[in-house]
A and B are shown apart, each in its own frame.
Chain A
Amino acid sequence: MHKFLLVLLLVFQSCSYISNKLAPKIGVIEIKSVKDNALKIKIDVETTEGSDAYIQYWKYINKEKTDSVISYSPISKNNSLHELMLIDVNLNTDYNFNVVVQKKALKRISKTYDFSTVEKIPWVPYFRDVDSISDVKFDGYLHFHSRQIPGYMFITNGEGKLASYYKNEANFKVSKWTHKGTLLGILSSDTLHFTNGKKIIEYDKFGNVLLEIETGKDNIKHSFHHEVDLDEKGNIMTLVYNHKVMDLSSVGGTKTDTIKGDGILVLNHKKEIVWQWSVFDIVNPLDDDDILTSKEDWLHANALFKDKKGDYYISFRNISQVWKINGKTGALIWKLGGVDGDFKMTDEAVFSGQHDIRINENNDLVLLDNGNLRFKPGFERSSNNRKLLDMNLYSQSRLLTLSIDTIQMKVKQKDIVSFPKKYFTHSQGSAEYINDSLVVFCSTNTNRIVFTNKQGKVLGNMPLEYSTYRVQYLKEIYSTNYAE
């Protein structure tokens, strides 16, 4: 019996010895800063051939160092030289880390090392105000940008701490975190009005440029504005301007007047046009009584969304309307809102000057109703004598969730979050639920990211140095299921 136990012990010992011996090995671990980015840490690791590697790193959240938060880097697979990068670290923080290397079912963890991040990066225009968000904490991240030169895209965590940033010498007018974990931006080298730009750029999460599309190159004639995203196939979809020259002499214009209208452009990563659509294919500018005054920015599209069935939704600010467009033929399916919408709407569902439209998993239409009375359906824009101040004095921006009944052709509000008047944004902005009890509202005009509960009660706000067009909630920056 004793002998048997001895043998068993030997077997166990030799097993762990064997697995330790068989586990992939770790050689040189080299840690270095990334040029021009204080929040990217590069760690190169040498391992046994054909291994996977990632970094697990943690920071202590109490002085006694008994409580910590652990994170994992993106994984590098099947290699012997791994160029790993931490892309979710905070400033002025001490971290410990291990290299984790695995091959088949065998895993090895390195010794524990440490590093500290820089205290402050005041050249990056995001300054966290601890007091203003002390009551706000959530799981996940926010993505937004800084509309200035140079431009920055930001990712902040649920405590408002900067987790990642990306810089460009031009100005980000619009930015988007895509479903493929890349970042898209519309760039411009001016700081002028609106969200118009002549370049689309795509970065991977590490900050490498994946794609650049420029107006005037590669047969792309259009300039881009207000929206850029990847569709389900990974193609770039964006809003563009189309110019149409036509005879407006019948309404007091010239015989060769130019109208600036909107279009949709879908491009693949070879910069080839896959699909395009123009508002001029659907409506005749001469049917608009105000075409002479509105021809320079006719309907002003400001948001684009593609649903699971492949149809597009496009938001027009000037007419407070959302259109559904057939994703194959480009035909108009319906118009919702405004003065000539196809749906009956309850008074509370009526929106004006809306932004940031999307269809949620329940097939409801979700949008930010800016509540700008200048675009209220039926409002006479010629009445210049009314005080602008007074006009929007009691205006509120709202997050609207609308159920669309296409049988009865009725729209009614399912959910409304009314934001305080103080944060009313007459133009731009976005709003969405972070979770059941927390809403994030981008109040572009007040340079604030505002957090409220479902009732619209303010829980906190993040003051911004420069305005951002939208704020986007991200559940995660990348999946770390390999480490769990």
Chain B
Amino acid sequence: MKEKKILRVRLYYMIFICLITLNSCNDDLEEELKGQLSESSISTESDATALIDGVYNGFLAGGWDYYASGELARVTDGITDVFVLNDSKYRNIETYNWTDENIASELWASIYTVVDRANWAILLIEGINESAFRTATKEQLIAEARFLRGLAYFDLTGLFGDVPLKLEPTKSDEVGLPRTDVNLVYEQIEADFEYASIHLPGRSGTPGKASKGAAYGLLAKTQLRQLKWELAEDNIDKLIALGEYNLFTEDNFLKLFYESNVLDDEFIFSILSLGESYSVASNHHLKFFTPWGYDTGWATVGLPVEIYNEMEPGDERSEVYLQEYPYLYGGAIKDAIDDFGFVINRKFGTFNRDVTSPGTGTSAAYRNYGISKMGVPVLRYADVLLLKAEIENELNGPTDIAYDAINEVRNRSGLSDLTDGLSKEAFRSAVLNERAIELAAEGHRKDDLIRQGVFVSKLNQYVQDQGYSVTITDDYKLMPIPRTELDLNPNMEPNPSNNF
């Protein structure tokens, strides 16, 4: 009994001793949380540049959409009288049979991808410390993103009119925004181009990068859409005054579009690609403007006969607009009008790849099949000079300044000066015609027709010439809002063309 008691006492005693010991040999650590995560881990100039590269990338959409593969050209010039589309895939666009409301839905998605990337770039680059920038300034990179956003909205408004104006990056699956009045969108586009014109450097040897000149030019084009002639002239003059651009006169007009000349200083802004391989960084442009029998092109498209017949004798641009063409597989020369009902427009053909695949015939056509480093011109100097002539005429009549500008373009193609003493109306018509021939398939005709108030009359004439049974109205100025957008976004309103 006594022993048990002693044992028990010892046990308590031992536990007590243990606890005392444990308490005394404590290490002095106290748990405590410090620090926090930074909002964004982007901090270097190369990340900022990568963001901007991602925006540029969007303009080629993997090589198959937006500016690549002739997609944008098909819904700009393609719906007008300078670009005829006989491909089954695009036949409905050509014949104004727009019952498929998703006829331009891929473009809508591609362009908004660019807008979103530009918005992300602007937001994130603004958050980077100034000291991180060495080769470019922070403002310059933001200006580049804003320029590209401006161009994306310029294209969106041209196609659809009022569009949702998003200036913040998409952060969640929030319900879509309603459409913004096109005039408010234009205000934003102008603000973006103005910022770009202030902060961007000059041309720096490549038209593939946004620049001061490109910003002036696209700002002028945005103002012309709103018929702000004086403001537009001011910006066109600033562009010309930079002295960085001139017409390509080193060789014939066709060679301006050769792969070796993508950096020529006639190009103010182009969407360029590296043409790394068939699937990487190639714009596939060369496959979508010419028929197979000429150069393995995939497109039965070209210049309508009516415009071709308006060309003056001796116009060297007929080097590009080809009626009699050498057949791909050799043999006799063939006639494009007999074969296709149009003239081949070879601004963007396989044989223009004089760098990667020089020559003609099948061997050149199959070498690096479908790969091209050819540029997609967005703005070139001839376009600027013709706009100068047009604006000057609108403001002051056909002055010497107006004549000089149009004649510079005409003389380049071996034509004599425009007839002297034209009336304002006749001069206006002459410029419009010159632009049609000079810029066919480059995507400017729709704006030209609308700006001059002849969209309906000219296109009804075209419809009659082509024998399509449709009457063109103002409703054809805007493409249908994609059905997908209307279904997903309760705030989205349709265009008149949604009811065709």
Contact = CB atoms under 8 A, between A and B. Distances in A.
A384 B366 contact: yes
Interface of A: 3, 7, 10-11, 14, 17-18, 21-22, 25-38, 41, 46-49, 110-111, 113, 115-125, 147-148, 150, 169, 191-193, 384-385, 387-389, 426-427, 444-447, 463, 465-467
Nearest to A169: B46
10 contacts: A29-B32, A29-B34, A34-B41, A123-B51, A150-B50, A193-B277, A384-B362, A385-B329, A388-B366, A467-B277
Interface string B39-50: 111111011101
Given A31-B33, A33-B41, A123-B42, A18 B18 contact: yes
Contacts of A465: 54, 57
B47 A28 contact: no
B437 interface: no
Interface residues of B, number: 54
Interface stretch (B199-207, B278-286, B379-387): B278-286
Contacts of A388: 366, 369
B41 A191 contact: no
A372 to B, nearest CB: 12
Nearest to B62: A447
Contacts of B33: 28-31, 111, 113
B363 A14 contact: no
A466 B280 contact: yes
B38 interface: yes
A129 to B, nearest CB: 12
B41 A121 contact: yes
B6 interface: no
A387 B297 CA distance: 12
B41 A11 contact: no
A46 B29 contact: yes
B48 to A, nearest CB: 7
Contacts of A192: 276
A36 B44 contact: yes
B27 A22 contact: no
A371 to B, nearest CB: 16
Contacts of B35: 30-32
A30 B51 CA distance: 31
A120 B29 contact: no
B120 A35 contact: no
Given A122-B120, A125-B50, A33 B44 contact: no
A385 B362 contact: yes
Contact of A36 (B37, B43, B279, B280): B43
Contact of A120 (B26, B30, B171): B171
B120 A120 contact: yes
A446 B329 CA distance: 30
A474 to B, nearest CB: 24
Contact of A191 (B38, B42, B276, B278): B276
B73 interface: no
B169 to A, nearest CB: 7
B42 A121 contact: yes
B15 A10 contact: yes
Contacts of B30: 27
Given A191-B276, A447-B62, 11 more contacts: A25-B29, A27-B30, A27-B31, A29-B32, A30-B35, A116-B37, A121-B42, A148-B53, A388-B369, A463-B62, A467-B277
B19 A110 contact: no
A21 to B, nearest CB: 4
Contact of B46 (A22, A48, A150): A150
Contacts of A389: 296, 369
A21 B21 CA distance: 10
A7 B279 contact: no
A122 B54 contact: yes
A269 to B, nearest CB: 28
Contacts of B148: none
A14 B19 contact: yes
B68 to A, nearest CB: 13
Contacts of B37: 31-33, 41, 115-118
A11 B124 CA distance: 60
